[in-house]
Structure 1
């Protein structure tokens, strides 16, 4: 496959599913996530501390993603079967490292003691679901021979261009089999087919842009790993790509409206980023200490 294209740095904001999702849910939360240095009231250090809060669900996903990533990279060096004892020892050690190194939302706001064994128990179930799936066997038999062409969580943020708009669509795992490119995205949380299909469509455009593959030759799938293994194929054709590109343009322009300088990505004042009226988001928001509905 072709080399991944590189882009010179620019200040202009880049669209992503997660960025627009945050923008849609709460404009104030979005401000804190992306424009903390422009806050005139709260010390930057405080905002960055709250932004860095993690959760049991998030660290479960992070651990699983990184363990699978490292396993796939190991397949690029050797096609030997996985030694499951060593694999799960590595998985446990990485989970311990992740849990011990971070401050959890549950601990900070709810005084909950985060038990690494509890987190690892779920990590282990998820990894077992993956290793015992027909897809894993299929990968060993069909994809490993082309492992030198795999794209596994590439460096950077997955920058690309969609209708000349900057966008970030970082894939988990992309690989060729025959004349097709498969794109897989691991999910450890609750299914959200609308959001996740949107992500996979973005990853498909990333593959289209960087490798010049036609829509019909890109096969994206959402891989749900918990509570049981399940796959959801995402249909990609020229009409879907055109519609998605229009969505990226529309959503990017919506975010532009909250900027005082588009080229330099400078936001309007914090007061111009309204609070959400959905208390569900407030309940699980890392910034609730400094926001408090004001």
Structure 2
């Protein structure tokens, strides 16, 4: 496969599935996430700290992603069978390290004690689901011969272009088998096939843009790792790609509507980003300490 294309830096915002999810869920939370330096009321350091808050579920996902990443990078150096004892010792070390170095939402707001063994129990369960799956065995059998061509959480943010619009679509794991390219995306939370299919369609277009591979030869797969292993293939055709490109254009324009300068990505005043009336979202919002909407 060819090298990933590089882009010169531009200030203009780029679409991503996660960015638009945040935008559509809560405009004020979106402001804090993406435009903290424009807040005139709260010190930048405070906003950045609140943004950095993780949670038990979120950190479990981060840990699993990074361990699977490291495992496959190890396979790029050696195809020796996985030593499960060493693998799970390493997994516990990573869990312990991450939990000790992060600030947790549950502790910050509720003074809850974060217990590493509790988080690791779920991490271990998820990893066992994966390495005991028939898909993992299939990867060992069919993909190892081209491990040098694997793309595993590439550096940067997965920048690409969708109908000339800037977009970010960062893949978890991309690898060739025969004349096909497989894209797998690990999910440790609740299944949401509609949302995740949208994300994987973006990844397929990323692969098409950077490597020139025909869309029909790109096979995106959503991998649900908990509570048991399950996967869903994302069907892509010319019609769905056309609709996806239209969606990206529409959603990009929606986000542009909250800017005073599109090219420089400068937002309107914070008050133009409305507060959310959804108390469920406010309950779990990292910014509820500073957001008047969460305190109503």
Q: Same fold (TM over 0.5)?
A: yes
- Following superposition, the deviation at residue 248 of structure 1 comes to 0.5
What CA distance in whole angstroms lies between the structure 2 residues aligned with 1:110 and 1:57?
Answer: 16
Counterpart residue number, 2:70: 70
- Superposed CA deviations along residues 145-164 of structure 1, whole A, max 9, x for unmatched, are 11011000000000000011
What CA distance in whole angstroms lies between the structure 1 residues aligned with 2:241 and 2:152?
Answer: 23
TM-score normalised to structure 2 length: 0.98
What CA distance in whole angstroms lies between the structure 2 residues aligned with 1:56 and 1:115?
Answer: 10
What CA distance in whole angstroms lies between the structure 2 residues aligned with 1:288 and 1:138?
Answer: 45
- Following superposition, the deviation at residue 215 of structure 1 comes to 1.1
Counterpart residue number, 1:178: 178
Give every structure 1 segment of 4 or more consecutive aligned residues whose post-TM-superposition deviation is greater than 3 Å. Answer: none
- Superposed CA deviations along residues 25-78 of structure 1, whole A, max 9, x for unmatched, are 000000000000000111111111100100011110011000000000111111
SS of residue paired to 1:145 = helix
- Following superposition, the deviation at residue 115 of structure 1 comes to 0.4
Counterpart residue number, 1:169: 169
What CA distance in whole angstroms lies between the structure 1 residues aligned with 2:30 and 2:269?
Answer: 13
Counterpart residue number, 2:136: 136
What CA distance in whole angstroms lies between the structure 1 residues aligned with 2:239 and 2:76?
Answer: 35
What CA distance in whole angstroms lies between the structure 1 residues aligned with 2:149 and 2:209?
Answer: 17
CA RMSD of aligned residues (A): 0.7
SS of residue paired to 2:12 = coil
What CA distance in whole angstroms lies between the structure 1 residues aligned with 2:45 and 2:8?
Answer: 29
Counterpart residue number, 2:52: 52
What CA distance in whole angstroms lies between the structure 2 residues aligned with 1:158 and 1:168?
Answer: 5
What CA distance in whole angstroms lies between the structure 1 residues aligned with 2:6 and 2:280?
Answer: 39
Counterpart residue number, 2:99: 99
Q: Which runs of 5+ in 1 are unaligned?
A: none
Counterpart residue number, 1:255: 255
Counterpart residue number, 2:240: 240
Residues 222-237 of structure 1: pairs in structure 2 closer than 5 A: 222-237=222-237
What CA distance in whole angstroms lies between the structure 1 residues aligned with 2:285 and 2:263?
Answer: 29
Aligned length in residues: 294
